[in-house]
Amino acid sequence: MANQSSRYPILCASFNQDNSGFAISTKDGFKIIDSNTGRLCYDRAVGAFIIVEMLYSSSLLAIVGAGEQPSLSPRRLCLFNTTTGAPLREMTFLTSILAVRLNRKRLVVVLQEKTYIYDSNSLSMLDTIDTVPNLKGLCAFSPSLEGCFLALPASTAKGAVLVYNVMELQLHCEIDAHRSPLAAIALSSNGKYIATASEQGTIIRVHLVSKATKSYSFRRGTCPSTIFSLSFAPSLQLPDILVATSSSGSVHIFSLGFETNQRTKMSGSFLGSILPYSVNDALDPAHHHVLHNAVSAGVRSYAVVRKVDKVADSSSSEIASCRAIISLIAYNGYFQEYTFTLNSQNESTWSLEREFNLVAVISGNAETS
Kindly indicate the confidence band of residue 321, based on its pLDDT and cuts at 50, 70 and 90.
confident
Q: How many CB atoms lie within 10 A of CB 235?
A: 18
pLDDT of residue 82: 97
* pLDDT band at residue 204 using 50, 70 and 90 as cut-offs: very high
Q: Which ranges constitute the DSSP H helices of 234-284?
A: 256-267, 270-274, 277-283
Domain regions of the chain by residue span: 8-137
pLDDT tier for residue 362 given thresholds of 50, 70 and 90: low
Identify the pLDDT of residue 297.
95
**pLDDT for position 312:** 76
Pairing state between β 86-92 and 114-119: unpaired
pLDDT given at position 270: 43
Comparing CA positions, the residue from 215, 219, 223, 216 lying closest to residue 248 is: 223
Highest mean pLDDT pick, 168-182, 250-264, 267-281: 168-182
> Nearest to residue 27, comparing CAs of 51, 45, 42?
45
What are the beta bridge partners of residue 356?
A: 335, 368
Topology classification of domain 8-137 = Methylamine Dehydrogenase; Chain H (2.130.10)
**What CA–CA distance (Å, rounded) separates 70 from 74?**
9
Chain segment 10-35, per-residue pLDDT in tens: 999 999 999 999 999 999 999 999 99
pLDDT number for residue 344: 82
pTM of the full structure: 0.90
3-class secondary-structure state, position 14: strand
For residues 260 and 290, the model is more confident at 290
Percent of the chain at pLDDT > 70 equals 87
More confident residue, 226 or 317: 226
Q: How confident is the model at residue 256 (pLDDT cuts 50, 70, 90)?
A: confident
pLDDT at 258 over 90: no
Q: How many helices (H) and strands (E) does the chain have?
A: 3, 28
- Say what the pLDDT of residue 3 is: 64
Integer Cα distance of 117 and 123 in angstroms: 9
Contact 129, 181 (CB under 8 A): no
Residue 266's pLDDT band, with cuts at 50, 70 and 90, is very low
Mean pLDDT, residues 88-95: 97
Average pLDDT over residues 342-351: 90
pLDDT beyond 90 at 363: no
137 or 236, greater pLDDT: 137
pLDDT exceeds 60 at position 47: yes
Q: Output the average pLDDT for the chain.
A: 89
Give the pLDDT band (50/70/90) at residue 317.
Answer: low
For residues 23 and 10, the answer to whether their CB atoms sit within 8 Å is no
pLDDT class of 262 with cuts at 50, 70, 90 = very low
Mean pLDDT of 137-166: 97
- 215 near 232, Cβ under 8 Å? no
